[in-house]
């Protein structure tokens, strides 16, 4: 049933030419920082978003970055590529006519998942490419935007059915649409040529069993997705015990979270950072300017508890 839905959606959105061009330069060792900078700066809006994000608290750099060549030097090519993915996303979907869908809440959830995933990866000795987890978190539910384009009211319908029938949301998606948002998301990432590790993390972000060579990596994104709704912002920073208790409570509901190889302390730090940084990152990526359906009932804000809505 994937092909009929994709046919209804028309052509899947493509990444901008500037992204493709810059990515090719980033993968070519002989390309200089100046040449990469010139390619990025051909798109002023993209340049502004990248520089705003790099200079945000999310990266915590001591001195301001004023140019893309400087960003290449400071961050390295791989990190800049991940920043680039995030920076183009808002533009890719800006022309989508998505109504009856909680777009702002969707991006808040995606960004918090991205921040938590990256922070957990940074604290994990088993993981090397930390920035890939920001990208995986940002993209993990991207299939929902394509579904919402085809059937604008589908999210509310599925949310209602999952709640009233006490069913798993993935099950309801498959029953009603013939396909899940994971299937659609993976198809989109394949079209975009997103690296396999990221695509696998997206594909398995609802799996409770994580095995194989990248079990730790897929488990981190699974855990970050679950933790993204935890709000520690109302707890004073010196109330460590209360924070730990809240995190421990939610972990008790998450099967096999230990496979992420993360400790309670590391998870609490990641959740706190996500609460502190998500809005600044959202603003940096230009997502606060997207058209938001202000009339959508709060009941149907994007819900990440995918086992039970």
pLDDT tens digits, one per residue of 257-307: 999 999 999 999 999 999 999 988 888 887 765 554 555 454 446 764 544
3-state secondary structure of 131: helix
Structure tokens at 64: 């301001």
pLDDT at 287: 76
Taking residues 134-154, what's their average pLDDT? 88
Question: Would the pLDDT of 98 be above 80?
Answer: no
pLDDT at 118: 94
Nearest CA to 157 out of 140, 169, 139, 143 is that of: 169
Share of the chain above pLDDT 90, in %: 33
Taking residues 236-253, what's their average pLDDT? 82
- The confidence band for 125, taking pLDDT boundaries of 50, 70 and 90, is confident
The maximal CA–CA distance of the chain, rounded, in angstroms, is 58
Structure tokens at 257: 């979270």
> How far is 291 from 296, CA to CA, in rounded Å?
12
User: Distance of CA 69 to CAs 108, 135, 281, Å?
Assistant: 30, 21, 21
In three-state form (DSSP H/G/I as H, E/B as E, the rest C), the secondary structure along 171-193 is: HHHHHHHCCCHHHHHHHHHHHHC
pLDDT tens digits, one per residue of 177-197: 888 999 999 998 988 888 899
Which ranges of the chain would DSSP assign to H, the alpha helix? 2-9, 17-26, 33-40, 44-54, 68-75, 77-92, 103-122, 131-139, 143-150, 154-165, 169-177, 181-192, 196-203, 215-227, 240-251, 264-284
Structure tokens at 261: 């190889």
pLDDT tens digits, one per residue of 58-88: 888 888 999 888 888 888 887 788 788 888 8
Give the domains, in start order, of the chain with CATH numbers: 2-300 (1.10.3210.10)
Chain centroid to CA 57: how far? 18
Question: Would the pLDDT of 103 be above 70?
Answer: yes
pLDDT at 294: 53
pLDDT at 308: 42
């Amino acid at each position: 049933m994937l092909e009929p839905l994709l046919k209804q959606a028309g052509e899947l959105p493509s990444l901008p030419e500037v992204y493709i061009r810059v990515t090719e330069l980033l993968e070519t060792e002989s390309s200089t920082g100046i040449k990469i900078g010139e390619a990025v700066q051909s798109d002023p809006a993209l340049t502004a978003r990248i520089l705003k994000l790099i200079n945000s608290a999310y990266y915590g750099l001591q001195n301001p970055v004023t140019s893309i060549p400087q960003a290449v030097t400071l961050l390295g090519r791989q990190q800049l590529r991940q920043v680039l993915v995030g920076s183009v996303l808002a533009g890719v979907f800006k022309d989508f006519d998505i109504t009856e869908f909680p777009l702002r809440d969707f991006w808040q959830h995606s960004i918090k998942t991205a921040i938590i995933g990256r922070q957990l990866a940074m604290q994990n000795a088993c993981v090397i490419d930390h920035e890939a987890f920001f990208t995986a978190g940002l993209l993990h539910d991207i299939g929902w935007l394509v579904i919402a384009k085809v059937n604008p009211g589908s999210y509310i319908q599925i949310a209602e059915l999952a709640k009233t029938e006490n069913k798993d949301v993935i099950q309801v998606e498959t029953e009603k649409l013939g396909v899940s948002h994971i299937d659609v998301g993976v198809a989109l990432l394949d079209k975009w040529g997103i690296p396999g590790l990221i695509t696998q993390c997206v594909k398995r972000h609802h799996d409770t069993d994580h095995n194989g060579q990248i079990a730790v990596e897929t488990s981190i994104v699974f855990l970050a997705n679950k933790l993204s709704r935890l709000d520690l912002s109302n707890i004073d920073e010196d109330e460590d015990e209360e924070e730990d208790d809240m995190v421990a409570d939610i972990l008790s509901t998450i099967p096999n979270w230990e496979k992420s190889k993360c400790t309670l302390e590391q998870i609490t730090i990641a959740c706190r950072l996500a609460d502190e940084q998500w809005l600044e990152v959202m603003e940096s990526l230009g997502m606060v300017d997207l058209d938001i359906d202000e009339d959508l009932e709060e009941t149907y804000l994007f819900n990440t508890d995918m086992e039970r809505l």
